[in-house]
Amino acid sequence: MQHRPNRVRGKFPSFSPYCPASGSAPWKAYNELAWTEDWLADPASYEHEGERYISLILRYCTFFPETMLHLGSGAGGLDRIFKRHFSVTGVDVSPGMLAKARATHPEIEYIEADMRSLRLEQQFDVVAIPDSIDYMVCLEDLRKAMATAVEHVKPGGVVLITGKTAETFQNNNFAYTGDKDGIHVTLLENNHVPSQRPNTYEATFVYLIRRNGQLTMHTDQHVLGLFPQTRWEEAFQKHGLILHQSTLDGLYDPYLLGEGEYPMQVFLGVKNRT
């Protein structure tokens, strides 16, 4: 898991459905319940996804990339793969996720910051947002995150973002489980597209945690951004990125309940050298 709920592994900045000012991330999933990642996320489940990203980066980067800025790095699940290929700097807004990532990857620098406003005065060969772009809940937030990515990527380098398009997204339910050390964790996730709130979807999480037979229940609701294909294209074009796009299907099929699909898109933008 860290997904694996698509409760994303530490996806990040803080905001309401209407894009108010930034603040501290309030989500239980990424703070007081961050420890459940160890029960729900099999490290091996990141391998296929991570290597797919590496392959795409090497295909489109105009030089051999050696450094990566990972925005929305969460608990560091993908960094286990990324650090084999790059010198990685991770950024996340959730203290609970950052604590886990730092413990797992002490050699990686992790920074607590909001991807919409981060400015490091440093550029990287690759800027990756593979998990957390859904937390850009309105176009203003998406544009700010894109501006951060472009500001931090070198000319000829690659911006990689994994997202969803409104045209292919649908309501879904997922289940994740883990059992060790006398603790059993079940996570149920519901994705719902509300008709009352355009360009968003809701992800609601219900945790069932049993410690030595004693049950506790926790709920967490996140409002996330959901944009049509044209908005994604505009976001990349506005920042002068040459866009390439690839599908990432089937990643969460083992966790889907009933009939459903969870298609994702990998957007890769190459920054012009001029």
CATH number at residue 177: 2.20.25.110
Q: How confident is the model at residue 19 (pLDDT cuts 50, 70, 90)?
A: low
Inter-residue contact 244 to 235 (CB < 8 Å): no
Q: In Å, how far are 44, 167, 171, 256 from 95, measured between CA atoms? A: 24, 34, 30, 29
Count: domains in the chain: 2
Task: Give dist(CA 145, CA 43) in Å, integer.
Answer: 27
* Average pLDDT in the chain: 89
Say if 150 falls within a structural domain: yes
User: What average pLDDT does this structure show over 125-137?
Assistant: 96
pLDDT at position 264 is 94
Helix (H, G, I), strand (E, B) or coil at 237: helix
Provide the greatest CA pair distance for the chain: 62
One domain, residues 216 and 231: no
Q: At residue 64, what is the residue type?
A: F
One domain, residues 119 and 179: no
Inter-residue contact 266 to 54 (CB < 8 Å): no
Report the range of poorest mean pLDDT among 8-17, 61-70, 190-199, 207-216: 8-17
Instruction: Indicate the pTM of the whole model.
Output: 0.89
One domain, residues 151 and 40: yes
Give yes or no for residue 26 having a pLDDT over 70: yes
Rounded to 5°, the CA angle 197-148-34 comes to 65
One domain, residues 96 and 215: no
One domain, residues 149 and 181: no
pLDDT at position 218 is 97
Say if 15 falls within a structural domain: no
Backbone angles phi, psi at 144, to 5 degrees: -65, -40
Q: In Å, how far are 10, 110, 238 from 57, measured between CA atoms? A: 22, 22, 21
Give yes or no for residue 259 having a pLDDT over 90: no
Domain that holds residue 124: 28-166+227-271
Say if 38 falls within a structural domain: yes
Q: How does pLDDT run across 37-89, given as a tens digit for each residue?
A: 889 987 777 899 999 999 999 999 999 999 999 999 999 999 999 999 999 99
Higher per-residue pLDDT: 249 or 145: 145
Say if 132 falls within a structural domain: yes
One domain, residues 186 and 151: no
Say if 22 falls within a structural domain: no
Q: Within 13 Å and on the Cβ side, how many CA atoms surround 145? A: 36
Inter-residue contact 217 to 206 (CB < 8 Å): yes
pLDDT at position 8 is 38
Q: How confident is the model at residue 156 (pLDDT cuts 50, 70, 90)?
A: very high
Say if 251 falls within a structural domain: yes
One domain, residues 154 and 41: yes
Q: How confident is the model at residue 25 (pLDDT cuts 50, 70, 90)?
A: low
